A and B are shown apart, each in its own frame.
Chain A
Amino acid sequence: MLTPRRAFTISLWGAAGVALLAFVSQVPESRRPATGGAVLAAAAVAQGGQFSLDPDTLVGWGRGPVQPIFFSHRRHAGEYEIECLYCHSNTDISPWASMPPVELCLGCHRVVKAASSEIAKLRGYAERGEPIPWDRIYKVADFVQFNHGRHVRAEVECQECHGEVEEYDVLWGWSPLTMGWCLECHKEPGEDEAKLAAAARNAARYTEEGRESHGLYPRSIDSQYGVLKGPIDCAACHY
């Protein structure tokens, strides 16, 4: 017989089950434990070891997705110290970070490591005229307007949001990309002297009393205008 207690318990388990299922399905494939990776790694090692894909030596293995081409940021950005903006060009001027076109990869790899099995895959994509379907790792929500260029120009290091990319062979979602996490940084005191001075100059032109006497809008957000490292105004990102 269905007692209230039992109904409650069933619902509880049911709800938990639904939640778990939904939670798992929400986790992108890229963040689930990689299973196919082992096969790929074994194959690569067996190929004669042009380079090692031994999971034990790969930093980040198992944390990020297995990409269509094995690309190591540690090799490119770490060992060879290639500038981030060399491949992700225009990220300092565009709101969007760019992904290097296949043509750019081949610019070097027509010569460099041309015999590697991974470069063969790259050439395969180029020859088939097919773009590389990279698994996306970082994505802000659709209702967030994030401007990469602005951050790069403000001298925010890539690593502050993307982690020590140059140390990883396999890239993974280092930061949570939650609003709270963004604000941690935005709420720090500003450093730009000129900006602070301008803010003070503007402030001198308006008296608090004038605004108080009209009983105007709440001001908890804008009291920090121009003096923090980044804006904490909702409309800076949400519109």
Chain B
Amino acid sequence: MTEIKRRDFLKVLGLTGAGTGLVGCGQEPAKKLIPYLVQPEEIIPGIPTWYASTCRECPAGCGVHVKVREGRPIKVEGNPYHPVNAGRLCARGQAALQGLYNPDRITTPLRRLAGTGEFEPIDWDEAEAVLAGMLRTMRSEGRSDWLYLITDGAAGTLDRLFDTWMGAVGSPNRVIHESFDVEPLREANRLTFGVAEIPRYEIDGAELVVSFGAGFLETWVSPVQYARGFSASQTFRDGRAGRFIHIGPRLSLTGSNADEWVAAGPTGAMLIALAMARVLVAEGRAGARGAAVRPLVEPFTPERVAEAARLEAETIERLAHEFADARSSVALPPGFEGTDRNATAAHVAVNLLNYAAGNVGRTVRFGPNVVRRRAARVARMQEMVETMRGGGVQMLLVHGSDPVHTTPAALGFADALASVEMVVSFSSCMDETAARAHLILPDHTPLESWGDHEPEVGVRTLMQPTINPIFDTKSTGDVLLSLAARLGGEVAGSFDWPEYRAYLRDSWQEVGREFAPGSDFEVFWRGALSAGGVWRQVGTQSVTLSPAVAGVSFDEPTLDGDASTPYALLTYPSPVLYDGRSADRPWLQELPDPVTKIVWNSWIEMHPEVAERLGIGTGDVVAVSSPHGQLEVPAFVYHGIRPDTVAIPIGQGHEHLGRWARGRGVNPLALLPAAADEASGASAWLSTQVALAATGVSVTLVSTQGSHDDLGREIAEVVSVAAAAEAEEHAREEIERAPEALVEAAEDADPKSPYRWGMAIDLSSCIGCSACVTACYAENNIPVVGAELCAQGREMAWLRVESYYEHVADGAHGNGHGVSQAADDESAPLVVHLPALCQHCGNAPCEPVCPVYATYHNPEGLNIQVYNRCVGTRYCSNNCPYKARRFEWFDYEFPFPLNLQLNPDVTVREKGVMEKCTFCVQRIMKARNDANAEGRDVRDGEVTTACAQTCPAEAIVFGNLRDPNSRVSRLARSGRAYHMLGELNTRPAVTYLKAVSRGSEEA
């Protein structure tokens, strides 16, 4: 047989290739074109409709605008007119869409097959008949109080319906369980001021913010609102910037924004606050208020508390002096993770400090109080569990809460469920409680529901459906009304509404009378629906010190354990997953934790000294044991935690909840006792110590940032206030001299173009919350790749937030950042968060290396990536100094119904294509198109990117660099402006403004 010559082989190959090529070029097969039968009035195909609603991903109640295309919500954005969040939204809010479109949602009512863990679908009629039958029997046998209802603590019409419904059925047993409640603060305010309310902390008006641990930029009370206020007071502006001191054992996301971290002992907050108040009083700086405070704080001299608080007395005195010297100041309480067995007293101590400094009524404002139902005390939960065990609970209804996952294992809730005859879950996803239920009656997700919410006094917000229910679900309000009708008699008599929507509308009659007296209800209702709710200004309620405060005992809280368990265990709500309810959202699982940058996992944070003692490093699995339980979790070695404390985030460790959450990480609640803060009854998160032991096993903790040190390359720059003020002054003169001058980057577009798109990112504002990252995923159809591919550096995020541990780059102010416990620079990090994205360089290194001209500079200065030209050589990525480019290694899936979320204005990329940030070119095109229709140019502020739109700190500004008066042009001419790796002459369109640190010397 003759050999096939190489030449012939190539010819064959070539021709076959040509044939295949021909196939590839054929026009796409046409599909069907389906018109509407009756076109809804408000829908024009191709143009989005916006609905105002309320975010229900946490209790804060931010207002949202939902972008709906052809009946499908595709993006959630903050409602710019809303008093809580003013148009901004956090990552969890952005990911609400993945709750709606989660492929693991419960699609129909389910009934457990007797004796198994399996469920079978049943229809609504049958499910309700079963429940109604059982309720009827219970009532006729006089056992109505064997019915229990567990709900979350949101206030609103549904909450009132729960109360009246339980009343009508005859059960007093409604239990409100909020994973992270604010009861210690409420109780402390009752004791201190006689007002059992949660006030608003006016951070924006405070020059000095001292936090005793509250994660107010991540999870505490209303993070977006506080982030906005924080940005207003801390951003460097007109030569000044506020100062933020974080006191606590761990450098949290919130703490990482501090100018100074005071690494006090885990239970030191109360004593430090008392000692600070005492210094104020003793030095006569509390004015007339001193007399009242003096007897309370007298024993707590800095010297006396120093040892217990594990902090030097001089530091406490200095903090007190700073607090008194500041023109305006505010002290924030310990928050969730600082809730120990005497948390109420700690909150009282912070109250006293604020009171002594004259902050109450100024920066601590009662009046616009947070509205939250009072959560059940731990004792009440224990009592319920006991009753369940004893067979005294025949039917348990659970709504908006997952107590199996969010109560300590030691409480025994999960086991006690087995003794309840009928557990009914209203969850829309298979959470841990639903998985143990006998009957699941799935509620709509918030984006499918009618509803309302009352986040704070004077703010009533509405929720309206933005899509027809995707699955066979039913609003819980409707289920309750329908059950009432089935029960008949007086129960049915007290509920003569055909559906929950009518009930809601009727209950708003009263809101109408309050907010718009005398006006027509129909007009009011329509107005409120389109605005997302109604709100009004609320005056300040004046408070004085209550005599009850004298009875508060400031005993040091105890932690379980002894010398064999040497580390205090801090468990904190994950900034990304909250209490775990968001763990089934792939966007959030793949969103790097803002502090550790770890994705898809749990970890235990420990100080390098501890790691050394155990002989382990990051990724080594440690066995953690407390007197109440044990678990194994990989270590993350972190300078931002005290050597006597370890920390595990709450949020992971699900056995159910869908494919993305199942079997991932650990739930640290397994280690906690069912302990409570005595006075308020709130769950004590900080209540035990643990022992650590190396296991010898090691895993890969997938982190998206290789190093937190920029190795002197000045990627993230920091200056002192003085240096910043000088530079800004210089820049201001320059702007006055030549107001119409443009920055250099403005040149890098076609001469005839009116636009050169650019961005400015103020690092003194950025808090690292990573909301921008999730907003980018939502807007740009970015696929989620999973932990394994992230480990290979194949995550697809177009925008990432890097964090660097920096030092103030200014000779005059060498060690400006101060950490009181500082031993060396390494343990004294000043963290700078830096959102990194494609810089849209004017002289882009990626462009000349593309062999097929798939990436190029367009006439408006954008660095464009043309997917259909790209052949995937990846040369561009190799040549990009910013590592901004991402390659589609595979075809990633958007399993139904996640695919319904895809933005139709953005191409879904396929395998083999390079992609990267486009500056949301689809939004630019939309704005240009609108401007074109009116025969004008795009105005400043008319177009913004998804990241800039959502940024709670307003750190990102997008606009036209060719307009000298645009906000972005002004910022780009700031004295703090610099380009990342500017020395490479890439001429980026993204200008960073240096972070500003106010170190301790300057105070």
Contact = CB atoms under 8 A, between A and B. Distances in A.
B759 to A, nearest CB: 17
Interface string A10-22: 0110111011001
A235 B864 contact: yes
A239 B35 contact: no
A203 interface: yes
B30 interface: yes
B564 interface: no
A139 B921 CA distance: 22
A147 interface: yes
Interface string A212-239: 0011111101110111000101111011
Nearest to A125: B37
Interface stretch (A37-45, A55-63, A94-102): A94-102
A102 B37 contact: yes
B194 interface: no
Nearest to A132: B35
Interface string B1-27: 111110010011001101110110011
Interface in A99-141: 99-104, 125-126, 129-137, 139, 141
Contacts of B747: 206, 210-211, 214
Contacts, number: 236
Nearest to A153: B933
From A2, A26, A31, A153, residue with most partner B Cβ within 10 Å: A26
A234 B47 CA distance: 23
A197 B862 CA distance: 23
A208 interface: yes
A4 B9 CA distance: 8
Interface residues of B, number: 69
Contact of A203 (B18, B752, B856): B752
A133 B22 contact: no
Given A218-B856, A221-B859, A225-B859, A4 B752 contact: no
Interface stretch (B52-60, B312-320, B468-476, B842-850): B842-850
Given A11-B15, A225-B750, A217 B29 contact: no
A12 B35 contact: no
Given A23-B26, A103-B39, A133-B34, A142 B907 contact: yes
Interface in B40-64: 44-47
A96 B46 contact: yes
Contacts of B921: 235, 239
A10 B751 CA distance: 57
A11 B16 CA distance: 7
A98 to B, nearest CB: 5
A94 B904 CA distance: 13
Contacts of B34: 99, 131-134
Given A94-B44, A225-B859, A18 B20 contact: yes
B46 A28 contact: no
Nearest to A179: B868
Contacts of A225: 750, 752-753, 859
Interface string B900-914: 000001111000000
Contacts of A210: 747
B886 interface: no
Contacts of B35: 98-102, 131-132, 134
B858 interface: yes
Given A8-B12, A139-B28, A150-B929, A126 B847 contact: no
A96 B44 CA distance: 9
A72 interface: no
Interface in B906-929: 906-908, 918, 921-922, 925, 929
Nearest to A139: B30
A177 B30 CA distance: 12
Interface in B953-1003: 987
B869 interface: yes
B812 interface: no
Contacts of A217: 748, 842-844, 847-848, 856-857
A145 to B, nearest CB: 7
Given A8-B8, A19-B23, A202-B754, A3 B44 contact: no
B39 A93 contact: no
Contacts of A211: 747-748, 751
Contacts of B753: 202, 222, 225-226
Contacts of B748: 211, 216-217
From B29, B47, B862, B869, residue with most partner A Cβ within 10 Å: B29
A3 to B, nearest CB: 6
A30 B38 CA distance: 26
B751 A19 contact: no
Nearest to B31: A136
B44 A90 contact: yes
A215 B986 CA distance: 11
A198 interface: yes
Contacts of A214: 747, 842-843, 987
A93 B843 CA distance: 37
B32 interface: yes
Contacts of B554: none
B899 interface: no
Contacts of B16: 11, 14-15, 18
B989 to A, nearest CB: 12
A93 B47 contact: yes
A199 B754 CA distance: 8
Contacts of B864: 233-235, 238-239
From B47, B747, B752, B987, residue with most partner A Cβ within 10 Å: B752
A2 B748 CA distance: 61
7 contacts: A8-B12, A103-B37, A136-B33, A142-B907, A198-B754, A216-B857, A217-B842
Given A19-B19, A205-B751, 19 more contacts: A2-B1, A16-B19, A19-B18, A30-B30, A98-B39, A98-B44, A98-B46, A101-B37, A101-B38, A103-B38, A131-B37, A142-B907, A211-B747, A216-B857, A217-B856, A222-B749, A225-B750, A235-B858, A238-B864
Which 5 pairs between the two chains have the least Cβ-Cβ distance?
Answer: A96-B46, A26-B26, A222-B859, A19-B19, A94-B46
